[in-house]
Structure 1
Amino acid sequence: MAMKEDKEETMSIALKQVFNKDKTFRPKRKFEPGTQRFELHKRAQASLNSGVDLRAAVQLPSGEDQNDWVAVHVVDFFNRINLIYGTICEFCTERTCPVMSGGPKYEYRWQDDLKYKKPTALPAPQYMNLLMDWIEVQINNEDIFPTCVDFEVVLYDTDKTGRVGGDVFAAC
């Protein structure tokens, strides 16, 4: 009976942490106030926080650059995932989460061009650390997500922006 109460208390603490906006796994990436991207970010935040249909919320506003709009949403999604993961990471340890999985049918394996040349099963915390590190490198790469607004932005590599979004979504 005491074990059941301990699990319920742990779940209660975890759920309270989900709504703690100050706790993130990594620092949020911010947009420079006064820039066009900051304005797009504010518009995206307003639409996502207003109970609006998500399909409508992510539609490209008239007259805006699609690349900037996609970049803003990828970065916002990354920040939200950091917030969510930050609330549960202390409960998901190598002991409690020995494998990164999407339920009983799916197991995620890490592969990169550095240390993991072949798909490798990892404990969930290690997988998430590698994933978040990789995504952070991508969104901080000026060739993929330029931040300078003084010149016309080159097209983003949609293969990579799509992969960033897909990798984060798949891990959740």
Structure 2
Amino acid sequence: MLLQTFRPKKKFEPGTMRYSLHKHAQASLNSGINLREVVKLPPGEDLTDWIAVHVVDFFNRINLIYGTITEYCTEETCPRMSGGPKFEYLWADGSKYKKPTPLPAPRYITLLMEWIEAQINNEDIFPAKTGKAPFLLSFALLWLFLHGLRISAVRVLLSGREKSVNFVPVCKKILTRLFRVFVHVYIHHFDRLVAIGAEAHVNTCYKHFYFFVNEFELVSRKEFEPLTELTRKLCDIDKMVRYR
């Protein structure tokens, strides 16, 4: 199976420390890790850092997922960014698109990924200053190397970051919009995922995403309506305490 990334990702040269960390983290994830437990904030660590780590991780991983179906997601096949006949997502960014605007799915997702990268690189939202990395960020970098951390995002994870009042609201919006990519891919391109053998990988990524945003109440429950049955089956949510 050939996986391609929708946007460039950092690669690691064999024999380097980062390549070793990448392989070690991959082995850890493949060892049957409990995703419900791994998303929980480690004792004594900072929630802001923990959220930042996962925002960057999911940004990279969902890029990878979308990259597997880009040639099948065109303006002709997907003239609207939708999740079935009942759900359509409009694009607005406060600058070029000041009002919610219907767009073809590939255009919506391209603008989304560009917007997310801009938020991550905006020091007013994700401020960073030089400092010694704490345990949490060291662990986070190890985790993120599994899927190839973008160079531009490394700065986000430097320790000693000052808190931004906009940080959590922006992260909620990022994660909500990333979820919509899951919706579109599952509903409109699931056959492609099955054909290339990517179904299990995408399901695992989705479960990780769901458990994380559920744990910290980062995505409104109503957003999950298009994938209600899928989520119920994959995540066994009947056995979970749902957030408000």
May I ask how many residue pairs the two structures share in their alignment?
Answer: 146
Q: How far apart are 1:170 and its partner, in Å? A: 2.2
Cα gap change, 1:25 to 1:166, in 2 (>3 Å)? same
Tell me if the contact between 1:48 and 1:57 (Cα under 8 Å) persists in the aligned partners.
no
Q: Secondary structure at the match of 1:145?
A: coil
Partner of 1:132: 113
Higher helix share: 2
One-letter amino acid matched to 1:93: T
Q: What fraction of aligned residue pairs are identical, expressed as a percent?
A: 61
Q: Which residue of 41, 61, 83 corresponds with 1:80?
A: 61
- Which segment is superposed worse, 158-167 or 51-60? 51-60
Q: Cα RMSD (Å) of the superposition?
A: 2.9
TM-score, normalization by structure 1:
0.73
Matched, 1:160 2:170: yes
**Structure 1 residues 24 and 147: alpha-carbon distance in aligned structure 2, compared to 1, 3 A threshold:** farther
**Closer/same/farther in 2, CA of residues 104 and 29 from structure 1, 3 Å limit:** farther
1:89 & 1:144 partners in 2: Cα distance? 30
* Cα distance, 1:28 vs structure 2: 3.0
Distance in 2, matches of 1:87 and 1:42, equals 22
With a CA cutoff of 8 Å and minimum separation of 6, indicate the structure with the bigger relative contact order: 2
TM-score (norm 2): 0.53
Distance 1:161 1:61, change over 3 A: same
Alignment CA distance shift 1:63-1:43 (3 Å):
farther
Unaligned 5+ residue runs, structure 1? 1-15
